[in-house]
Structure 1
Amino acid sequence: MHNFKKLEIWNESMDLVSESYKITRSFPEFETYGLINQMNRCAISIPSHISEGTSKSSNKHFANYLEHSLGSAFEWETQLNVAFNERYISEEKFKELENKIKQIQKMISSFKSGL
């Protein structure tokens, strides 16, 4: 069993949740039930699957939850691209967050491979 609060992948993805909430606050109001909701739910899903996976009795089961977490990370990256394409975020912020999500994706993949 792993203590999820001590996992770097969990802590980095929790930081991403905060970033997601920060950037979506400035999105147009009509996106409240669209992109804002989707991005934040997706961001929350990344650390949530990691923490849920730590409760499982085997590494095989944990790896399945890491797969879900990784899927959510790729989904969030797509939504980040949508936000940038719609000019809801600056290029500078886009590049910063794109690097962050790619780093998280690599970390999750590496952690999963090491189980």
Structure 2
Amino acid sequence: MHHFRQLQIWKEGMGMTKQIYLLLAKFPSSEKFGLISQISRCAVSVPSNIAEGSSRSSDKEFAHFLSIALGSLFELETQLLLAIELEIINRNEMDPIIESIIQLQKKISAFKKTLK
């Protein structure tokens, strides 16, 4: 069993989620039940699935939860790109967050490979 609080990917997932919540405060309230809801659920899913997976008894099970976290990151990236396209938020503000998401995708993928 892994201790999720010690995992760098979990720490970065928590930091990314905080960044997302700060960003969502700038979205129009008309998106409360649309993109805001969807984006926040994806962001929270990342560290949550890393934590849940770390409690599993096998590396295979943990890898499954890492796959879910990874899927949430790709979904999150897509939704943020859509927010840029819809001009809800500007690209310059979003670029650092998207870059951190891409880096976290790479780190989770690399960590997942160590479990097999």
Range of TM-score over shorter length: over 0.9
C-alpha distance in structure 2 between counterparts of 1:85 and 1:16, whole Å? 21
**In the alignment, is residue 33 of structure 1 matched against residue 25 of structure 2?**
no
Q: Could you tell me which residue of structure 1 aligns to residue 17 of structure 2? A: 17
For 1:65, the aligned partner's letter is F
Alignment of 1:53-72 (within 5 A): 53-72=53-72
- Count of residue correspondences: 115
Q: Could you tell me which residue of structure 2 aligns to residue 42 of structure 1? A: 42
C-alpha distance in structure 1 between counterparts of 2:101 and 2:93, whole Å? 12
C-alpha distance in structure 1 between counterparts of 2:36 and 2:62, whole Å? 29
Q: Could you tell me which residue of structure 2 aligns to residue 75 of structure 1? A: 75
What percentage of aligned pairs have identical amino acids? 45
Question: 1:76 deviation in Å?
Answer: 0.3
Residues 17-53 of structure 1: per-residue CA shift (max 9 Å, x gap) = 1111111111111100110011011000000000000
Structure 2 stretches lacking a partner, 5+ long: none
Structure 2 SS opposite 1:44: helix
Normalised by the length of structure 2, the TM-score is 0.96
Question: 1:87 deviation in Å?
Answer: 1.6
Give the root-mean-square deviation of aligned CA atoms: 0.8
Question: 1:105 deviation in Å?
Answer: 0.2
Structure 1 stretches lacking a partner, 5+ long: none
When structure 1 is superposed on structure 2, of 89-98 and 21-30 the one drifting more is 89-98
Would you identify which runs of 4 or more consecutive aligned residues in structure 1 move more than 4 Å? none
Question: 1:88 deviation in Å?
Answer: 2.1
Residues 66-115 of structure 1: per-residue CA shift (max 9 Å, x gap) = 00000000000001101111222222222111110000100100000011
Normalised by the length of structure 1, the TM-score is 0.97
**In the alignment, is residue 7 of structure 1 matched against residue 7 of structure 2?**
yes
